[in-house]
Structures are given as C-alpha cells and as structure tokens.
C-alpha cells in the first residue's frame, strides 16, 4: 500500500497535543484574560475574524481533497443502496435523534430533575448538540473507513454527495431544531455562517483542486501540496482549541462536571446512529466494505463546522461552543470503538463488491486522510491510531 511510513511523532500523539492546548487555553483565560477579550473584539456581522481564519485553515484542506467527479460513478446496486442508507440516516434521522436525546438528558434529566445544569445553560448545550447532529463527518470518515477496510471509491462518493447536501440542508435543519429548543437564531448570521464555512471553502477547494491538477499535475498535488495542507489543518485545530478554551476556562473550572454530562447524550447518539445505519446495511445485505463507511459518516460529526457556527451564533464563551468542543474530545475514542465493532462483525456481511477496492485504490486516496499525510500499511496505522485511545480519557479530567 504505497510507502510504509509510520506516523510522525506529532501525528501519533495528536490527542496529547489537543489536551495540552486545552490546558494552555484555560491558563491563558485565567492569567491573561486581556488576550481573549482583545481577540473577541475582532468581530464582523457576529463572526469573529480570528476564529474564521482558523476555521478556514481546518476546513479548506478537507474540501480540496474531495474529488467531486467521483459522483459520476454512482450506479444502481450496492453503491446506490449504501448512499440511500447514509442519506436517510444523516439527514432524516440523525439531526432529530440528536435533538431528542440531548433534550432528554441535558434538558430534562440533568437540568429539570437533578438540577445539575442551569436551565438557560442547558438550552445552550442542547443548541451545541444540534449543530453537531446537523452535519455528518466530512474528512475523518476517510480514516475510519480505511481502518475498517471500507471501499475507498464508495467512501469518496458518499463524502462528496453529503458535502453537497450540507449546502442546502444544514441551515433549514438547524433553524427548525433551534426553534423547537426555543433558542432564538439570527437567520442572517446562520446563513452567513453557511456561506463562510461551507460555500466558500467548498468552492475554493473545488476550483483550486481543478487548477492545481491542470497546471501542476496529480503527482505534485498529492506529494507536495496536500501534505503541507495537512499540517495547516492540524495547526488550525489546535489554535482554535486554545482560543476557545481561553474563553471557556472559567465555565469549565466552575462546572467541571458539565463536560461529562454533555458527553453522555453525545456518546449515546453516536452509537445509536451507527447501529441504525449498520443494521440497515445488514438487512439490505450490503457488503461490509460499504456498510462500515456508510455507518461511520453519520456516527461521526463535522465538528469543525459545528464549532464555527456555534461561535458565530452564540459567541466564544457560550455553552453551545463548549458543547461542540466536547464533540471534538470524544470523537476519536468513540469512533475507534466503532471501528473495532465493525471489524469484529465483518463475518456477518457479504464480501462481494466491485468498485475498485483494495490496496491500489487506497494508495490513490491516501492523502484524503485529513491528519495523516501518508498512509502506512494497515497494521502500522491501526497500532498507532489505537494508541490514542489511551490518551483521550485524560481530556475528560482536565475540567
């Protein structure tokens, strides 16, 4: 499968760097409060420009890696059935189940019954959960699919089609569910957020990809351009976390339990959505190479978009922004557990599927993995990635 290069020291311990950035952000907020206050003033139309630049640094590298020409290869049969599973699960089930589950636990159990969360703050947490549930994963699904031996072409097609659906479905779904949550949403800011964090990066990624492939060629695009973008994406993520937690530090220090409480409905939602899509794929007798990625994309979230919109709608120091960050914290360990489940249940699915699966196809798509510039062999990437599960529990104790 191409060159057998292991992950770099930085990439292998990405979870640790995330934890350190969270600690650093909290310390900055406590001992250097003037810095986040100054950055908070860099706002135009309710959008913080400092955060916007960092979010673009995260999202653009993901969009430029998506080959929308793959949509032409959709055909009747197993691939189309897999797409139906993911479209229905992602857009007709996931957003509404996220709202119901988070409202039940955060709004009813933790707030009204137990009194652990202030009702007004509970609504903000639910709003953050809604934003996480309103958009399926765009980039990390390539990693989960790779680890479960998913079909690379199918994975690429489902990401491309869902990215297009996000353009039209995200804002209406968010607006509707926020209304049910009785949280006022400035629709002009919501639509502006979609333009800034979906339309512009998606268009820029598509156009720059075409231009670079035409002028520089596929080899330069893969070997020179994409690896550099992966580094930019990581730096953007870490700097965003530092800035976010410089604002959230006081809330976390005063309410450390809230991190765990928010994580409970998000965790239940992730396993619930995976079970629906995975079970549906099994009932339809889809091959495992399709069933696994079709289930991963809905279980995982487009947390970069959720964080950006939460900040634009509610502010850097809002409960909604904190809830979306909890989604970032739990993303890797939970998704790795789902990869493990998918691999252990492979024998329940048929293996027959012909779309160009195998090591050669994955070698062509190795740079689709957002935080891994190169794709080592299966065993190397599994060992290195599963090591991160031992680091993530640390994040839940930092509050």
| pLDDT single digits (tens) 373-396 | 334 444 444 545 444 444 443 333
Q: Domain range spanning residue 102? A: 9-397
Most confident of 19-23, 143-147, 216-220, 371-375: 216-220
CA distance 353 to 357: 8
Tokens of 242: 């530092």
Provide the sign of the torsion angle of the four alpha carbons 204, 205, 208, 210, taken in this order.
negative
With tokens 């409202």, the residue in question is 103
For residue 216, give both structure tokens.
């520089």
For 295-313, write each residue's pLDDT tens digit. 999 999 888 788 888 888 8
Q: Residue 245's closest CA among 395, 16, 58, 29?
A: 29
Q: Which of 336, 395, 326 is nearest to 143 (CA)?
A: 336
Give the pLDDT confidence score for residue 375 in this predicted structure: 40
Amino acid 377: pLDDT: 43
The domain total for the chain is 1
In 3D, which of 329, 336, 264, 274 has the Cα closest to residue 299?
A: 274
Q: Assess if residue 2 is contained within a domain.
A: no
Per-residue pLDDT averaged across 159-173, rounded?
90
Tell me if 111 is assigned to some domain: yes
The pTM of this model reads 0.79
Q: Of 389, 350, 383, which is closest to residue 151 (Cα–Cα)?
A: 350
Say if residue 237's pLDDT is above 50: yes
Q: Identify the weakest region by mean pLDDT among 252-256, 284-288, 324-328, 373-377.
A: 373-377
- The mean pLDDT value of the chain amounts to 80
Residue of 287, 57, 290 whose CA lies nearest to 156: 290
Find residue 264's DSSP bridge partners.
none
Which of 57-61, 250-254, 257-261, 331-335 is least confident? Answer: 250-254
Percent of the chain with pLDDT over 90: 32
Between these two residues, 254 and 351, which has the higher pLDDT value? 254
Asked if residues 308 and 141 have their Cβ atoms less than 8 Å apart, the reply is no
Answer whether residue 137 is part of any domain: yes
Q: Which residues contact 68 (CB under 8 A, 6 or more apart)?
A: 160, 163, 164, 206
For the stretch 19-74, pLDDT in tens is 788 889 888 888 888 887 788 777 776 677 887 888 888 788 878 877 777 676 66
Element (H, E) at 281: helix 257-283
Query: Which of 24-33, 107-116, 199-208, 387-396 has the highest average model confidence (pLDDT)?
Result: 107-116
Residue 132 lies in a domain: yes
Alpha helix segments (H runs only) across 181-225: 187-194, 200-215, 218-220
pLDDT at 228: 78
pLDDT value at residue 125: 96
Q: Rank 12-21, 264-273, 350-359 by mean pLDDT and report only the highest.
A: 264-273
Q: How confident is the model at residue 11 (pLDDT cuts 50, 70, 90)?
A: low
- Cross-strand bridge partners of residue 112: none
Residue 1 lies in a domain: no
Q: Token pair of 132, please?
A: 């996480």
87 lies in some domain = yes
pLDDT tier for residue 123 given thresholds of 50, 70 and 90: very high
pLDDT at 238 over 60: yes
- Classify residue 3: in a domain, yes or no: no
Question: 53: domain CATH number?
Answer: 1.20.1530.20
Calculate the alpha carbon distances from 132 to 162, 241, 320, 324, 342 in Å.
15, 16, 10, 6, 23
Does pLDDT of 175 surpass 50? yes
Question: What average pLDDT does this structure show over 101-128?
Answer: 95
- CA 142 – CA 145 distance, rounded (Å): 5
pLDDT digits (tens, 9 = 90+) for 322-338: 899 888 778 878 888 99
Q: What are phi and psi of 318, to 5 degrees?
A: -85, 160
pLDDT, mean of residues 314-318 = 83
Angle at 146 between CA 132 and CA 22, to 5 degrees: 45
The pLDDT of residue 94 is 97
- Is 377 within a domain? yes
According to the model, what pLDDT value does residue 187 have? 81
List the Cα angle 244/246/250 in 5-degree steps: 110
- For residue 134, give the nearest of 168, 166, 87, 102 by alpha carbon: 166
Across the range 151-162, mean pLDDT stands at 85
pLDDT surpassing 60 at residue 353: no
* DSSP type of residue 301: B
**Eight-state DSSP code of residue 8:** P
């Amino acid at each position: 499968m191409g060159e057998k290069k292991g992950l770099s020291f930085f990439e292998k311990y990405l979870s640790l760097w995330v934890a350190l950035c969270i600690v650093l952000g909290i310390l900055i907020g406590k001992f250097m409060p003037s810095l986040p206050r100054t950055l908070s003033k860099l706002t135009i139309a309710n959008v913080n420009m400092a955060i916007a630049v960092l979010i673009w640094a995260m999202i653009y590298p993901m969009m430029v890696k998506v080959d929308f020409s793959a949509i032409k290869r959709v055909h009747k049969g197993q691939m189309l059935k897999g797409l139906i599973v993911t479209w229905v699960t992602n857009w007709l089930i996931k957003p509404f189940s996220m709202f119901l589950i988070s409202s039940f636990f955060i709004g009813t159990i933790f707030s009204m019954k137990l009194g652990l969360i202030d009702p007004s703050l509970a609504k903000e947490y639910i709003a953050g959960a809604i934003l996480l549930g309103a958009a399926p994963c765009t980039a990390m699904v390539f990693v989960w699919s790779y680890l479960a031996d998913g079909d690379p072409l199918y994975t690429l097609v489902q990401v491309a089609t869902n990215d297009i659906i996000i353009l039209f479905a995200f804002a209406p779904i968010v607006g509707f569910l926020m209304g049910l949550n009785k949280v006022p949403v400035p629709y002009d800011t919501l639509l502006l957020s979609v333009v800034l964090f979906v339309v512009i990066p998606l268009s820029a990624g598509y156009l720059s990809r075409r231009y670079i492939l035409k002028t520089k060629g596929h080899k330069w695009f893969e070997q020179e351009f994409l690896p550099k973008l992966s580094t930019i994406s990581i730096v953007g993520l870490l700097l965003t976390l530092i800035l976010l937690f410089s604002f959230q530090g006081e809330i976390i220090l005063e309410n450390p339990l809230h991190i765990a409480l928010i994580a409970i409905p998000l965790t239940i939602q992730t396993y619930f959505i995976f079970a629906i899509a995975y079970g549906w794929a099994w009932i339809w007798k889809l091959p495992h190479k399709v069933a696994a990625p079709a289930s991963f994309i809905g279980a995982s979230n487009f947390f970069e978009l959720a964080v950006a919109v939460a900040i634009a709608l509610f502010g850097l120091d809002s409960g909604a922004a904190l809830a979306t960050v909890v989604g970032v914290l739990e993303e890797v360990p939970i998704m790795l557990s789902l990869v493990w489940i998918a691999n252990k249940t492979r024998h329940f699915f048929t293996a027959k599927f012909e779309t160009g699966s195998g090591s050669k196809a994955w070698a062509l798509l190795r740079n689709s993995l957002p935080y891994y510039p190169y794709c080592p062999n299966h065993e190397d990437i599994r060992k290195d990635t599963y090591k991160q599960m031992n680091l993530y529990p640390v994040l839940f104790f930092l509050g």
